[in-house]
């Protein structure tokens, strides 16, 4: 009887399929503007401080997460046009010592995360250009910040340490994104291709000498799992192994226009913000069809409120923060 029971159990195990893995999502949206007099407030940059609180920069000020479902808004003083234009935040970076830098059309602003009323506006000639398109914390040096303006990119730490331009080897006049790989190479996404700075040596990647599929590149990121370089722009998304192999992922996206790329080491996912929704790629991901997952309005019962995504940020708790035309939506996937 014991043998018959064992045979029966084995038959049940092999013939009856296991229950399918159940996945679920939870969405929370933080409106980026309570003032109904202003139509829309695009969120262009998201990051977090060392306490884990999430910040985002918008066209009408800075927001800081104050609770699990709320955020507080901060505006720079608007006593003049220049001061008011500081609130048009194009990029946001936070250093380990809680120093906050924001980029705007009138300069780079600096203040402490826990002293929001104290701030300073840094403009030309302290920095090479008063119109700043991006600020980026230097992952290799806790005290340095990268900044970029009209045709120039620089390293800042109380003063400008070094300046690069087209004469130095910069591929294009507009710098959109910066990434630093595990070897210390600086990768720069520009309006004229991608630049790579290895020590004092420059390498330029364009559609004519590489696997890039477009000239204008908005986003660049390093995947920690294999140190590959991901590059997105007006014409799609490519992955580069840093040597000779280029992989084109454009057809896997909700939209060919990629605005932001961020790698999450927590779950080895590369997150891609596009003009028609969000996409996430993780090798061997436990979904039935492919390693790509797409999110857009209507893709689930309660999902993104807008198609056009400007930025994305995966936090250390496994949540994904998504900046769009009217606020920030947080995704928690199980």
The sign of the torsion formed by the CA atoms of 68, 38, 307, 324 equals negative
pLDDT in tens, 273-313: 999 999 999 876 554 445 888 888 876 555 788 889 999 99
Nearest to 177 by CA among 185, 168, 186, 164: 186
Question: Rounded to an integer, what is the distance from CA 53 to the centroid of its chain?
Answer: 16
C-alpha–C-alpha distance, residues 48 and 64, integer Å:
9
pLDDT in tens, 225-261: 678 999 999 999 999 998 899 999 999 999 999 999 9
C-alpha–C-alpha distance, residues 318 and 216, integer Å:
31
Nearest to 151 by CA among 169, 136, 139: 169
pTM (2 d.p.): 0.86
Q: Which two tokens stand for residue 20?
A: 């399918």
What are the C-alpha distances in Å from 178 to residues 112, 169, 195, 323?
23, 15, 10, 19
* Cross-strand pairs, 246: 240
Average pLDDT, the chain: 83
Q: Domains along the chain?
A: 25-333 (2.130.10.10)
The order of strands in the sheet holding 25-31 is: 25-31, 327-333, 319-324, 309-314
User: What does the DSSP 8-state code read for residue 241?
Assistant: -
User: What does the DSSP 8-state code read for residue 251?
Assistant: G
Q: Which two tokens stand for residue 11?
A: 């038959």
Gap between the terminal Cα atoms of the chain: 43
Tokens 């609770």: give the residue. Answer: 67
pLDDT in tens, 64-117: 887 776 678 888 876 666 667 889 999 999 998 889 999 999 999 998 876 666
Nearest to 47 by CA among 131, 113, 123, 122: 113
C-alpha–C-alpha distance, residues 99 and 112, integer Å:
5
Nearest to 135 by CA among 99, 171, 173: 99
Question: Rounded to an integer, what is the distance from CA 180 to the centroid of its chain?
Answer: 14
C-alpha–C-alpha distance, residues 181 and 194, integer Å:
14
């Amino acid at each position: 009887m014991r043998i018959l029971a064992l045979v029966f159990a084995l038959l049940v195990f092999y013939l009856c399929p296991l229950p399918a893995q159940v996945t679920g999502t939870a969405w929370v949206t933080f409106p980026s503007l309570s003032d109904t007099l202003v139509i829309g407030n695009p969120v262009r940059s998201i990051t977090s401080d060392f306490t884990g609180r999430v910040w985002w920069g918008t066209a009408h000020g800075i927001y800081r997460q104050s609770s699990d479902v709320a955020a507080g808004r901060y505006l720079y003083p608007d006593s003049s046009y220049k001061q008011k234009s500081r609130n048009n935040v194009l990029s946001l970076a936070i250093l380990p010592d809680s120093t906050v830098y924001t980029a705007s059309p009138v300069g780079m602003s600096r203040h402490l995360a826990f002293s929001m009323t104290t701030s300073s506006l840094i403009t030309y000639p302290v920095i090479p250009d008063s119109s700043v398109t991006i600020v980026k914390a230097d992952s290799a040096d806790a005290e340095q910040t990268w900044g970029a303006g009209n045709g120039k990119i620089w390293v800042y730490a109380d003063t400008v340490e070094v300046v690069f331009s087209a004469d130095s080897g910069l591929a294009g006049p507009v710098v959109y994104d910066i990434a630093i790989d595990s070897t210390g190479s600086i990768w720069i996404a520009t309006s004229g291709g991608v630049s790579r700075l290895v020590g004092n040596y420059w390498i330029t990647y364009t559609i004519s000498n590489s696997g890039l599929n477009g000239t204008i590149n908005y986003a660049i990121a390093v995947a920690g799992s294999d140190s590959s370089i991901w590059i997105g722009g007006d014409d799609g998304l490519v992955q580069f192994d840093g040597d000779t192999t280029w992989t084109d992922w454009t057809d896997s996206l909700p939209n060919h226009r990629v605005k932001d790329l961020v790698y999450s080491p927590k779950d080895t996912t590369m997150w891609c913000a596009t003009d028609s929704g969000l996409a996430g790629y993780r090798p061997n991901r436990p979904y039935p069809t492919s390693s790509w997952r797409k999110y857009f309005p209507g893709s689930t019962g309660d999902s993104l409120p807008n198609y056009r995504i400007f930025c994305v940020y995966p936090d250390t708790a496994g949540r994904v923060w998504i900046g769009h035309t009217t606020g920030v939506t947080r995704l928690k996937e199980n």
